[in-house]
Structure 1
Amino acid sequence: MGRRRGEALEAAILEAAWDELSERGYANLTVDSVARRAGTSKPVLYRRWPDKQRLVEAAVVRRNVIQLVAPADTGSLRGDLIATLTEMNEKRGPFLAQLSMLLAGYFAETESSFAELREAVLAGRRSGRDEIMGRAIERGEIDPAKLTPRIASLPFELLRSEAMMTLRPVAPEVIEEIVDTIFLPLVR
């Protein structure tokens, strides 16, 4: 196997960082352990990331980008939300619960939050939530005057909260309750 460079090397390092984070948690992850796992040296890592925090952020962003869920387009706001929340629940629920536990030391050390990490993951991209809400406004299903940023994020935040609190996938009836009983009455 030849020497890895560029994107191939970076991908190997970030996968190694994710694997170390998954197995050991932030507090026990070291740059040395990531370098060993990736089959490279610490100086190679430090040329790309100045410290452990930035390395872990890059690994989380990469993992999150790989697992992004495309917003559903069923033709209705209710259908889009239920389909998207269901797919997020299936693909991302375990990831978010795992991430919250693994990054406890990171949040304490950096004095940051999940919201700040989410912004790094989105990095200026339009969120699926924004696409769903935009289509619903165009179809006349939402009163735009009632759609504040907090209300727009509500179904997604409730799904995340439920998954993180229970450490289990969210039941389909809970997703329907979030959409039908809590969210839709607020925006119509």
Structure 2
Amino acid sequence: MPERRRGAVLEKALLDAAWEELTESGYARFTMDAVVQRAGTSPSVLYRRWSDRDQLVRAAIAHILEESRIDAPDTGSLREDVLTLMREINATRVQLVTVMSVQLAGYYQETGAGPGDLFAAARDKTADTLFERAVDRGEIRPERLTRRIKSLPFDLLRHEFLTTFAPVPDHVLEEIVDTIFLPLLR
């Protein structure tokens, strides 16, 4: 007889099951019942935590983004920090970004949220660390760092993922940083 899961272990199992269901079936076919079956639990266990599929989808996305969070690099320069972070995202996140954009299209349409909204919270924590360090080093002035400028290199990377469904060549990452992003900060 399997050991009974509780607390954080149970919640992780439920969120992992929800994410697996989303990636395999997409939002259109995503049901609470399918998650219950995949997690090997009862409906009451799931509904005690999330009352509807929208809440569960948001929780599963937040969970997977937190589990796959990348630590902010500290190379000593903003250029290298941004490139290092983009290279790490490029090497490890193509599938995640693609799944979140394609499999969740119905979710975005139904809720009005967008992929950028969901990625923003996870991305902003890491990127803000890079920008704070660059300001402290005197590389950039804080008033130049609008929300849009801070998100620009990562938005362009996501755009490349969604137009190619493949990792982005390194020369394109460098072009984004050197010819588009950094000139905006000067």
Q: Answer whether TM exceeds 0.5 for this pair.
A: yes
In the comparison of the two structures, how many residue pairs are matched?
185
Relative to structure 1, the CA distance from residue 157 to residue 126 in structure 2 (aligned partners, 3 Å threshold; closer, same or farther) is closer
Alignment check: 8 A CA contact 2:81 2:130 kept: yes
Are residue 173 (structure 1) and residue 143 (structure 2) matched?
A: no
Counterpart secondary structure, 1:127: helix
Shift of 1:80: 0.6
Alignment of 1:72-83 (within 5 A): 72-83=73-84
* Aligned AA (2:12): A
Distance in 1 of aligned mates of 2:144 and 2:56: 40
* Distance in 1 between residues matched to 2:21 and 2:70, nearest whole Å: 24
Q: 1:74 corresponds to which letter in structure 2?
A: T
Alignment of 1:39-118 (within 5 A): 39-118=40-119
Q: What pairs up with 1:134-149 in 2 under 5 angstroms?
A: 134-149=132-147
Give the TM-score normalised by the residue count of structure 2. Answer: 0.93
> Residue 132 of structure 1 aligns to a residue in which SS?
helix
Structure 1 position 7 matched with structure 2 position 8: yes
Query: What aligned pairs does 1:30-41 form with structure 2 within 5 A after superposition?
Result: 30-41=31-42
Structure 1 residue ranges (4+ consecutive) displaced by more than 3 angstroms after TM superposition: none
TM-aligned CA deviation for residue 55 of structure 1:
0.8
Q: CA deviation at 1:144?
A: 2.7
The letter of the residue matching 1:101 is V
CA–CA distance in structure 1, aligned partners of residues 127 and 175 of structure 2? 18
Counterpart CA distance in 2 for 1:109 and 1:55 is 14
1:126 positional shift:
5.9
Q: Pairwise CA RMSD of aligned residues?
A: 1.6
Structure 1 match to 2:128: 130
Structure 1: segments with no counterpart, 5+ residues: none
Encode CA deviations 1:97-117: one digit per residue, 9 max, x unaligned. Answer: 121111111111212222332
**1:89 corresponds to which letter in structure 2?**
N
Mapped contact 2:157–2:173 kept (Cα < 8 A):
yes
SS in 2 for 1:29: coil
* Distance (whole Å) between structure 1 residues aligned to residue 112 and residue 84 of structure 2: 35
One-letter amino acid of the counterpart of residue 89, structure 2: M
Match of 2:162 in 1: 164
TM value normalised by structure 1: 0.92
Cα displacement (A) at 1:50: 0.7
Could you tell me which amino acid in structure 2 is paired with residue 109 of structure 1? E
